[in-house]
Amino acid sequence: MHKPNVPTREDPHSLAPISLEGTSVDDEVALIKRGRGQRLALTLAVLAAGLFGGQRLLRSMDEHAAYSGAAAQLEQVDSQQGEAYMRCALPNVQRSQLESATALHSAIEIATEHLDKGYGRVLAQCAPLLDELEANIHSLSAPPDMTRRLERLSGAVTDYKTSWATYQKYLQDRSQPYDYVKAAPLIERITIAWEGYQAAHRQAKEALVAAR
C-alpha cells in the first residue's frame, strides 16, 4: 500500500519540530520589512521632492519681493529728494515743464537772471536734498543682476549733484560778477548730467519692474 510523503523525524522519539517545506516565518518577516522599507523610501523621496519644490518657491518669492522692494524704494527716493530738489531750485516751474534739457536750461537761465548771483543762496538751501538723493541712491539694495544698472545710476546721480554744486559755487563767488558767457557752459553741464540721471533712473526702474 502506497504511503503519502509526509515529513517524518529521523528519530521517531525525537522532540525536534517537523521541518515544513515552503516559506519560513523569517522569510515572510523579511519580505514584510522589505516592503515597508520600500514604501518608507518612496515616502521620503516624495517628501524630499516637495521640500525642494517649496524651497524653490520660497526663493522665487523672495527674489520677486527684492525686485519689487528695490523698484518701490527707487521711486520713493526720486520723489522725496529728486523732485523735491527741482521744486526747491526752480519753484516757479512745474515738473511737466521740465521734459527736456532745453526746457531745464531755459528755466535755470530765467531763475538766475531774476536773482542774479543771489540764486546761489537758493541753491545752497536746496543742496541737502541732493546730498540725500545721492546717499539714498548709493544705498539702494537689489539682486546681483541689477548691480551694473545701480552702479550706473549711482555714477549719474553723483555727476548730477556735482554739476549743480559747481554752478552754485560760481554764483557764490563774490570776487566776480555774474557773466552769462561763463554761466552758460555750467548750466549746460547741469542739463547734460540731468539727462544722464534721468536715463539711468528710467533704465534701472524698467529693469526692476520687468524682473519682479
Residue 20 included in any domain? no
Residue 47 included in any domain? no
Q: Of 59, 66, 37, nearest to 207 (Cα)? A: 66
Sequence-ordered list of residues with C-beta below 8 angstroms from that of 58, at least 6 positions apart, any chain: none
Residue 140 included in any domain? yes
Residue 78 included in any domain? yes
**Model confidence pLDDT, tens digit, residues 93-121:** 887 788 899 999 999 999 999 999 999 99
Residue 31 included in any domain? no
For residue 200, the SS3 value is helix
Average pLDDT of the chain is 80
Residue 144 included in any domain? yes
Distance CA 153, CA 208 (A): 13
The answer on pLDDT for 60 being more than 80 is no
Domain membership of residue 75 as a residue range: 65-211
Residue 3 included in any domain? no
pTM for the whole structure: 0.69
**Count of domains for the chain:** 1
Residue 76 included in any domain? yes
